[in-house]
Structure 1
């Protein structure tokens, strides 16, 4: 070939390695030395007409996208080494240890030269590169999380099919895309702090990525960006998994907690209104009676128009105040009567779903044993559901403590025909030295900054539904929280 000077050809043909000269941008083959032609069983002219997928093994671990990413990394960084399995003219695969390096030739300019050594059938690849070159591929195909291999500029060099699909792309489409193009991260990867962190050999970052597809559907991914050092070279590996359900639960839980706090204040105002109405009713009625008595005691033969007028006006104001108090009573009772009959089993199952999202994240197993059929309860289903979630979250916080050996939580329902009980059990530290009747009163909280307010609100809600919460020792250890509510029996 006239474009490759004779000195370069002579040097390449004297080598014990196979040499493939690729065009820098297209990756097309420009020339090959004698060793390469022998290995592929093609002439130089025949090799020029071949594409990457014609020369590579059909093994999915050596798919075309990975080969292009490998060569492109060499273009960007000057050199890149890996094990690659080629295929010869007869369809026979052969494994090589290959290094792609950028060269500058006088007549051609910059080219990409791949030098490869064929590994024998009994010859194993050197150990230092097994993680990146082999185990990485297996992990990409068999892990339940998606994996992206990034360069130092956070561009995708390789991706598992799952990772590509999580971002809404195929593997070939996602290659060479910057992470910024794939979604919105909660950590600015271009910030000085992030760059300094990832420049460390052991650098790592936790990120959340908001991904929107072409239809506008949002997906949330949790990612762990980690540096992997192999033979002196650093690779960035981003492991991602779908946490859309968890994020939705967090949003819903935050909304419900805010609503719960509002309703708690609202209910407290209702309680205070009822107390004031009750306490003010008697003295207002008494004052009215006293004024009526005074009017009757004024002698008829003594005309005191100013006094009579003043007493009458005062009595009218007291009557008006009594009417306001009565109106407040009716209003509060009307608010409290806006309830409905709902199926507690369905509410427990929904609460279990959200509790399991948190439990899975913390490595906790939840066992459930729910009574079959409907368990009808009257009240506010959202509030009761939030009480169940709040109790479950408290139990999970106890289970995940290092001192808790059994990473297990149990939830079951029981009924005596008139009432239904929801039992949440953990095997944590238990209640030694803590009176059960003081738990909901705010006397007990295992959290460093805990105040017991969540338990107070929960018990207040349950009491307004005609039920109660009790705290008992669990067997063989831990705490059992029982939420008891009255059942509604509907005539068939």
Structure 2
């Protein structure tokens, strides 16, 4: 009788310890910084912690007991999250990948890890953790590696590019008297100016891993933009684009390296032309260019109605060597960003897929 009582006491103690242990584990899972979902062997959601139902923006009571199909059909789950859950299921469960990374609607990076097998007795454990800080470190290291590689490439290709331009410039100077006799000396002047600008662009590309000091001079924003439009409007018309230069104030004066800033604006207009060319529809392409005063700064805007960009492209837009073009170097916007920063300004960009893109260049005004 006593032995039966002792055995019953031990059994009760073990049950109590087991329940206490389960409660402790649940408390730990409830407060860790990762989202957790556990589906049992029948595909029913049996446990979800606070982080996870916060990510889904759903109450816990409406989640526990759901299957994946029920979750995807949940009326309170946003369309974006439904697509995301379906993509995660396809990549991990269906394709058998142990982890999957994605970017949410706010530009944050997340990693989903799936654990299953004999140790979980047929259950599926999904763990979701934010890795934005890790990605930032990774991208910084990647950018530093690219800059180091760029520095090594610069010395080997500088002469190969510059020598032909030097030869062309020399022959144009020899032909200049003949063009003068034909009344076409203006052609020689334009060609020489563009060769010099090409040399400056090459110099910027090849030295993009180290800062250069701008050779500043005063110019009105109106004159700068009119000159850029004059250089690009014929090419734009050939590509089915119309450039509209908005009326500008004459008192917007900036102190900049004119060649460098002109290079930045030209680069953005050419990017806009390519974005318009890549559109699916056949509507007339439009590029809007203008400037306005904002306190002690001028905001130069270049907008288009091209194909636009997604959030992943926007996130890496100014990284060296990142490009979405088949023949691009991925240096244009990286160099442009550095040029504007060297002038004490900044570049911002906003874009929507199939709607268009707007770049805004902010530069300090001369009062």
Kindly name which structure, 1 or 2, has the bigger radius of gyration based on alpha carbons: 1
TM-score by length of 2: 0.45
* Greater fraction strand: 1
More helix by share: 2
Q: Higher relative contact order at CA 8 Å, sep ≥6: structure 1 or structure 2?
A: 2
Give TM-score, length-normalised by structure 1: 0.35
